[in-house]
Every structure is written in structure tokens, then in C-alpha cells.
């Protein structure tokens, strides 16, 4: 649905050149929720703004639904944008227009008649659950409600693609959750392709299918969310994952322990199997869980446990071998011997 090829965006000022996006190529399939994560200044905002040509790429191509946007100009580009919705961190609603008028504006842009627009606005208000706020001004709404208006406006012309520029970064956690659920819903119901940029791994974990990690204008790692979470390759990716899967034990605690401390990661179905209880039945070891968590990423469990094993050294070794064979992911944090 979205094909980005060798996209480069350079900002030129009198004194220097800043490379915002450095030779990025991406492929987003239809119906996918694609997350781009990175710290501020990583170029993710430039990248998403290049997708609907709010920023003109310095070089490279952006194809959406088979149309190369970089070849379009004027009215052609304007018409293409009707099919690409966009929502923003600070909502960007027209403050002098009511909720209804803000949404109707998008339909007017598409040349819809008043009657047709009216019907569609009411549908959209129902979709984002704001029917009772239709005659209010944006200043009277909460952040979450404003973003819902933004979403309704973005969806007005039945776009194929929705771009979300830090859409939840200005919202509190519970509002973030409700907006994410709404996006997830829309993705399922309408089969809408969604590209979102964020600096919060929580957002990615919650709704994305695929993820790209950006640093210094480049995509340094890309893949299925579950794969990235369970097997991150780059330090930055690990940083982001650690931000929600924090598994560091205090140094003192580790030193005080007499047994062998191991960190086990259970992926997918294995997380649901009873590997641990099997372990204690088979080997003469005692286990003590120091830390543990099961995260559900795209409804697939990812479990991480830190355990202390005590017993005969040979039994502990056998136990470790057993877990390694089952999970293929075991790290000895502290060896008793």
C-alpha cells in the first residue's frame, strides 16, 4: 500500500545542511499498522510528513496505492491527499469552527454536497462517539475528544491510509489507551492501513503489527513487532524495549544470592506451556522467582523470568540445559560456582 524508496530529506539553511531522513526505504502492506519509533530528532516526523508530501522529499519516491506522489503537483497532489488521512500530536483543529464544521470541512474539500456531507459527518461522529459534542468548539473539548475529532476529520473521505504524527503523545495514559483502541478498531473494521510515529514503545506494543526503529535519519531495525520485542538486535531497540520490559535486578540483591541466577525468555506457545513446573518434577533443584512478567504483544505472550536455582551443581546444570533446549533463550546472570 505504501512504498517508500530511497527517501532523502535534507533541510538547508544558510549555514549548514541537516539530513532529516537518510535514504529510507519502507514497505507497508494493506491493512497493516506500521509503527516508526525513535527519539526526537531521529527523523521520524520528517519521514511521516514526506508520506503525504507536507514536506517535499529531496530525493526518492513515495508510492501510495500505486500512485507516485513525488511526481504530483497542485490539484493532482491535493486530490491524492483526500485519500490520505492524517492526525497530529496537537490535533490542529480549526478553533473557530464547531466539531461538526471541522469534520464537514474535509468533505467540502472533496467537493461533497451539503446533504451528502451532513450524512457522512453524522456517521463519523457516531464512529468516534462524539455525537453529543457536535455543536461545541474545540476549546470546550478534552484532549482525547479533540483527537477523536481529528480522527473523524481524517477519515471523512474514506482514505486508504491514515498517518498518525505522535497522535497520543499529548494525551494521558488512559486517554492514550482509548485512542489506540479506536485506531485498532478502525483498522479492523475498515481495513485501513495505519502508519504511526511515536517515541513510546507502549504504543507500538499496543497496536502495531510491524515496527521500524529510527536513529539519525535512518531505519536501523525493522520487523514484526513480536520478533523485535523478543529478539532486538540494535542497542537502541533494546533501550526502547527495556523502557517497558524493565528487568534489571539491584546489584546487591544478586550478590547476596547463593544460587545460580538465570534469566529465561519464553516466546509464543512456550510461554503457555508448563516448562517451569516440568523442570521441578524432573530435576532435584529448587527455584525461586526473583522477577517475572508476561507481556502480551499482539495477543501473543512473551514471558521473561529471573529465577534463582539452588541444588547440586550437576542438577542445576542439567536444569539449565533442559530450559535452554526448551526455550533457546537463557542467560545466566549470576553463577553460584
Q: Establish if 65 lies at the interface with other proteins (CB under 8 A).
A: no
Smallest distance from other proteins to CB 170, Å? 12
265 to 284: interface string for other proteins, x by CB under 8 A: --------------------
**Residue 106 interacting with other proteins (CB under 8 A):** yes
Report the side by side order of strands in the sheet with 33-37: 84-88, 161-165, 193-198, 33-37, 210-215, 218-224
* Helices H / strands E in the chain, number of each: 12, 14
Residue closer to other proteins, measured from CB, 137 or 322: 137
Cβ nearer to other proteins, comparing 105 with 322: 105
142 in Cβ contact with 178 (< 8 Å): no
Q: Which of 22, 70, 145, 157 binds other proteins (CB under 8 A)?
A: 157
Task: Based on the shown chain and the rule CB under 8 A, indicate whether residue 46 belongs to the binding site for other proteins.
Answer: no
110 scored as a contact of other proteins (CB under 8 A): yes
CA angle 109, 170, 43 (to 5 degrees): 75
- How would DSSP label each residue in 163-218? EEESTTTTS-HHHHHHHHHHHHHHHHHH--EEEEEES-HHHHHHH-SEEEEEETTE
72 is a site residue for other proteins (CB under 8 A):
no
**Options 2, 69, 117, 156; binder of other proteins; rule CB under 8 A:** 156
Position 95 contacts other proteins (CB under 8 A): yes
**15 forms part of the interface with other proteins (CB under 8 A):** no
Rounded-to-integer distance, Cα 17 and Cα 78, Å: 29
Minimum distance from residue 125 beta carbon to other proteins (Å)? 17
Residue 71 touching other proteins (CB under 8 A): no
Task: Provide the minimum distance between the beta carbon of 12 and other proteins in the complex, in angstroms, as a whole number.
Answer: 13
Cell of 97: 469552527
The contact pattern for other proteins, residues 116-145, with x = CB under 8 A and - = no contact, is: ---------------------xxx------
194 binds other proteins, rule: CB under 8 A: no
Instruction: State the Cα–Cα distance between residues 63 and 284, nearest whole angstrom.
Output: 60
Q: How far is the CB of 19 from other proteins (least distance, A)?
A: 20
Enumerate the β-bridge partners of residue 88.
Answer: 165
CA angle 271, 274, 276 (to 5 degrees): 95
Does 78 help bind other proteins (rule: CB under 8 A)? Answer: yes
Alpha carbon 301 to its chain's center: 17
If one asks whether residue 108 binds other proteins (CB under 8 A), the answer comes out as yes
Among the listed residues 193, 329, 316, 318, the one whose alpha carbon sits nearest the alpha carbon of residue 258: 316
Binding positions for other proteins, rule: CB under 8 A: 52, 54, 78-82, 84-86, 88, 90, 92-97, 105-106, 108-110, 137-139, 150, 153-154, 156-157
Amino acid at each position: 500500500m505504501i512504498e517508500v524508496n530511497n527517501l532523502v530529506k535534507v533541510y538547508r539553511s544558510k549555514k549548514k545542511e541537516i539530513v532529516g531522513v537518510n535514504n529510507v526505504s519502507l514497505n507497508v502492506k494493506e491493512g497493516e499498522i506500521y509503527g516508526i519509533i525513535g527519539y526526537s530528532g531521529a527523523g521520524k516526523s520528517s519521514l511521516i510528513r514526506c508520506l503525504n508530501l507536507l514536506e517535499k522529499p529531496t530525493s526518492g519516491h513515495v508510492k501510495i496505492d500505486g500512485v507516485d506522489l513525488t511526481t504530483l503537483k497542485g490539484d493532482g497532489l491535493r486530490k491524492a491527499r483526500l485519500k490520505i488521512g492524517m492526525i497530529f500530536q496537537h490535533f490542529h483543529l480549526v478553533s473557530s469552527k464547531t466539531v461538526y464544521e471541522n469534520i464537514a470541512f474535509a468533505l467540502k474539500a472533496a467537493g461533497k454536497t451539503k446533504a451528502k456531507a451532513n450524512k457522512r459527518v453524522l456517521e463519523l461522529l457516531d464512529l468516534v462517539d462524539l455525537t453529543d459534542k457536535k455543536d461545541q468548539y474545540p476549546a470546550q473539548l478534552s484532549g482525547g475528544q479533540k483527537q477523536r475529532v481529528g480522527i473523524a476529520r481524517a477519515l471523512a473521505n474514506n482514505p486508504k491510509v491514515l498517518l498518525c504524527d505522535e497522535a497520543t503523545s499529548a494525551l494521558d495514559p488512559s486517554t492514550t489507551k482509548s485512542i489506540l483502541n479506536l485506531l485498532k478498531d478502525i483498522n479492523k473494521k475498515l481495513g485501513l492501513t495505519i502508519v504511526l510515529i511515536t517515541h513510546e514503545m507502549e504504543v507500538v506494543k499496543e497496536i502495531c503489527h510491524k515496527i521500524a526503529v529510527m536513529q539519525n535519519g535512518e531505519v536501523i531495525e525493522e520487523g514484526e513487532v513480536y520478533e523485535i520485542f523478543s529478539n532486538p538486535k540494535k542497542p537502541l531497540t533494546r533501550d526502547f524495549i527495556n523502557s517497558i520490559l524493565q528487568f534489571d535486578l539491584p546489584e546487591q540483591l544478586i550478590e547476596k544470592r547463593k544460587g545460580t541466577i538465570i534469566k529465561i525468555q519464553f516466546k509464543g506457545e512456550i510461554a503457555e506451556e508448563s516448562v517451569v513446573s516440568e523442570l521441578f518434577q524432573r530435576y532435584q533443584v529448587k527455584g525461586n522467582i526473583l522477577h517475572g512478567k508476561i507481556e502480551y504483544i499482539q495477543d501473543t505472550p512473551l514471558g521473561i523470568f529471573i529465577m534463582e536455582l539452588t541444588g547440586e551443581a550437576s542438577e542445576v546444570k542439567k536444569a539449565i540445559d533442559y530450559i535452554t533446549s526448551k526455550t533457546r533463550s537463557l542467560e545466566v546472570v549470576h553463577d553460584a560456582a
